[in-house]
Amino acid sequence: MKRNLLLTPGPSKVPVELCEILGKPIIHHRTPQFQQVLKEVNDGLKKIIGTSSDVYLLASSGTGAMEAAVSNLLSPGDKAITVEYGKFGERWTELVKAYKAVPVVLKIQWGKAVTAEEIKAALAQNPDAKAVFLTQCETSTSVTPDLQAIGAVMKSGTAVLVADSVSALGTEPMAMDGWGVDVVCSGSHKGLMLPPGVGIVAVSAKAIAMIASSTNVRYYFDLRKSKKALADIDTPFTPAIGIVIALNEAIKMLLSEGLDKKQEYYLKMARAVWAAAEAMGLKVYADPKFRSRALTAIVIPEALNPKKIVKTMRDVHGITFAGGQGELDGKVVRIAHMGAVDEYDILTGLSCLEKVLKEAGHKFELGASLAAAQKVFNS
């Protein structure tokens, strides 16, 4: 039987331990048993996010968490800065427009991420902006900004800082309270190693006040309802029960290994992939100053047909990389090193990429990427 190795940046690989939990019969959610799970999940997420404030669970993919942030924070006509350095930053702009607020788009060259200075300048030009929406790990380009520095320049202002951490949470460091991030949006199917189904929104006191005063229309994703339910260790509607139960175990797995240590390991895998790409004569897309530890986009010459490379790896060999999105469509392959992925998954993925690149006519020495990666892993 063919292996089915997901090295995609969402959904990501689900470890066997979690598959077993996901296969168990469902329990009812309005029970002390489920309440205990909810409480543990909430406490665990607070640790991973670095907050003592509220964390709400939604039954949605990551975009639902983003939509909840926009529709609950803003009112029609409000101005908000949306920062675009990839496909997901563009989603913030679309969401702000969808809720009749006014996006001020800060466009950053793809491959780079926004800097604290650029945020500071944008806020100085738009002192009436209610919020800054940005992406912690821009999955389309594999970059990450210095959120701590951005939080520092925003701390004294009135605007809230909202991070799309859908692909970053668990993998990239996050200290929401310490850095001054007001809202963290995420989901279950990336660094948290589960299928999609749970959206996560963490909110600071400043954000809670803004949510209370928004005049926007909301119903299913009304975070005021989430807040009220959370006070009774409950959710306003039926949660994704099975995934919440597995999330509890996923969080325990991440925390028991030590999150700092785990995140250093993700960085090591990232460095191994960067070295591997170079060893095959390929370029890592992201600017070295902004490279993410959650995934890597590798530029593939168009003559080698990157789309076909992804397809052959998946359909012939059972190993899934992601292709490019937006302006990188047909230009890159993306490999995730988040969640449950380990160095042997990376080596398996690289050896398959080598085989398929060789077949496509790329000139390099077979085994070069594996040797380069192994050197990093064994350093």
Residues found near ligand PLP in the complex (CB under 6 A): 9-10, 61-63, 88, 135, 137, 139, 164, 166-167, 187, 196
Cβ(57)–Cβ(288) under 8 Å?
A: no
CA angle 205, 52, 90 (to 5 degrees): 65
| Closer by beta carbon to ligand PLP, 195 or else 330 | 195
Task: Kindly state the smallest distance separating residue 99's Cβ from ligand PLP, in Å.
Answer: 17
Cβ(2)–Cβ(318) under 8 Å?
A: yes
Q: How far apart are CA 212 and CA 190, in angstroms?
A: 30
Closest CA to 83 of 143, 2, 43, 10: 143
| Closer by beta carbon to ligand PLP, 84 or else 164 | 164
| Closer by beta carbon to ligand PLP, 43 or else 94 | 94
Task: Kindly state the smallest distance separating residue 162's Cβ from ligand PLP, in Å.
Answer: 12
Question: Which residue's CB atom is positioned nearest to ligand PLP?
Answer: 62
Q: How far apart are CA 347 and CA 82, in angstroms?
A: 37
Q: How far apart are CA 109 and CA 217, in angstroms?
A: 34
Residue with tokens 């809720």: 99
| Closer by beta carbon to ligand PLP, 9 or else 349 | 9
Task: Kindly state the smallest distance separating residue 167's Cβ from ligand PLP, in Å.
Answer: 3
Q: In Å, what is the CA distance from 85 to each residue of 58, 82, 164, 222? A: 27, 10, 13, 29
Task: Kindly state the smallest distance separating residue 137's Cβ from ligand PLP, in Å.
Answer: 6
Task: Kindly state the smallest distance separating residue 295's Cβ from ligand PLP, in Å.
Answer: 9
Q: How far apart are CA 165 and CA 162, in angstroms?
A: 9
Task: Kindly state the smallest distance separating residue 66's Cβ from ligand PLP, in Å.
Answer: 6
| Closer by beta carbon to ligand PLP, 136 or else 369 | 136
Closest CA to 297 of 267, 319, 270, 260: 270
Task: Kindly state the smallest distance separating residue 60's Cβ from ligand PLP, in Å.
Answer: 7
Q: Is 290 exposed, middle or buried (0-12, 13-18, 19+ CB in 10 A)?
A: buried
* Strands (DSSP E) found in 102-195: 102-107, 131-135, 160-164, 183-187
Q: How far apart are CA 40 and CA 46, in angstroms?
A: 10
Q: Which residues contact 23 (CB under 8 A, 6 or more apart)?
A: none
| Closer by beta carbon to ligand PLP, 80 or else 357 | 80
| Closer by beta carbon to ligand PLP, 63 or else 312 | 63
Task: Kindly state the smallest distance separating residue 315's Cβ from ligand PLP, in Å.
Answer: 22
Read off the DSSP letter of residue 188: T
| Closer by beta carbon to ligand PLP, 65 or else 370 | 65
